[in-house]
Amino acid sequence: MKPFYGIDRTTLKKNTFHEGDCFIAATVSDMTRQSYVRALQNAAKELEATKLNPLLRGLKTVCSWITLFGFLSTIRALRNVTIAEAFENAPFIFWLMGGCGIVWLVLTILTNRKAKAVMAAEDFSQSTRRLEGEIDRVFRELQVPDDAKEVDVVQLTYRWKNGTVKISTTGSETTPYTNVSLRVFRREDVLCLADLENRYELPIAAMRRLKMVKKPLVIQGWNKEEKLNDPFYKPYKLTMDNYERVHTKSYGLLELNHDGVDWALWLPPYELNYISALTGLPITEE
């Protein structure tokens, strides 16, 4: 099955285009797209201004790792010696750990103060409002209702091998699965999904089943305003690692056949109930 909204890297290893052009029902105009991109670039510049320069950011990262490494080494050493003996044996580690810890703390305070100062400025507020206005304009042009819910969809990067989908990552990617937020709603006999460029329509009649696959999945990113430990998400036993990847115990597949081609929309487990309510499909288990 072809992953809907997936990225096929069979021939182009750096491909970024989503699969599913056959489902596109509307596309934003070039004028609207360019206006949104300009607003996004301006907002990105303002956001970049909240950070320290690259040199200080690098120093902060190095100091955090040295402090952590020194702390863990000290904890291990204290299993066999007292803290006084550990300091006597390796005073350099204690001085280095303390110095790096102070530098990290100072840089953290400076980062927070700079971010607050920039975000409190009128320029930052204006760029944020402008970007929000452009996003609203995009969705109006795509005829997306104001009350359309934001639903997480799993964007899968893959390649075909002997007729089978194989996951694929490149460069700094730590997982082929990415959490992408789309506006999802039903209009008559189609399920509509909209990003900031297209509105896709999946025919309800073409859908075969909504399946829960009880296998773990590691998905990059968290889009919800609620925290991962919110009571709503507790039944799904989600966890997040140091790379901000969400670990799930299962995932969902909305399977359909369109013009003789089998497709599957990949979903995090916590979105299945909503998709089931929209499509009328019961959730089955593999």
Most confident of 34-38, 105-109, 254-258: 254-258
Residues 162 and 278 in one domain: yes
Residues 20 and 35 in one domain: no
User: Average pLDDT in the 197-212 region?
Assistant: 97
Taking CA 30 as the corner, what is the angle to CA 26 and CA 32, rounded to the nearest 5 degrees?
85
Closest by CA to 211, choosing from 275, 161, 262, 159, is 275
Residues 122 and 191 in one domain: no
Question: Phi-psi category of 166—alpha, beta or left, where left has phi over 0 and alpha has psi -120 to 50?
Answer: beta
Question: Phi-psi category of 273—alpha, beta or left, where left has phi over 0 and alpha has psi -120 to 50?
Answer: alpha
Residues 279 and 154 in one domain: yes
Residues 33 and 125 in one domain: yes
- The per-residue pLDDT for range 106-125, each reduced to its tens digit, is 888 888 887 787 677 777 78
Domain that holds residue 174: 2-28+146-285
Residues 208 and 102 in one domain: no
Of the residues 100, 121, 141, the one at which a domain ends: 141
Q: What is the SS3 string spanning 225-259? A: CCCCCCCCCHHHCCEECCCCEEEECCEEEEEEEEC
Q: Residue 263's pLDDT is what?
A: 97
Of the residues 141, 168, 203, the one at which a domain ends: 141
Residues 79 and 214 in one domain: no
Q: Are 214 and 220 in contact (CB under 8 A)?
A: no
Closest by CA to 267, choosing from 162, 200, 181, 138, is 181
Of the residues 98, 123, 141, the one at which a domain ends: 141
- The per-residue pLDDT for range 165-194, each reduced to its tens digit, is 898 887 777 899 999 999 999 999 999 999
Neighbours of 111 (CB within 10 A): 16
Residues 135 and 157 in one domain: no
Most confident of 16-20, 72-76, 268-272: 268-272
Residues 60 and 22 in one domain: no
Residues 221 and 209 in one domain: yes
Euclidean distance between CA atoms 257 and 34, whole angstroms = 35
Euclidean distance between CA atoms 237 and 239, whole angstroms = 7
- The per-residue pLDDT for range 51-76, each reduced to its tens digit, is 877 887 788 888 887 887 777 777 77
Residues 128 and 37 in one domain: yes
pTM: 0.78
Residues 184 and 209 in one domain: yes
How many domains is the chain partitioned into structurally?
2
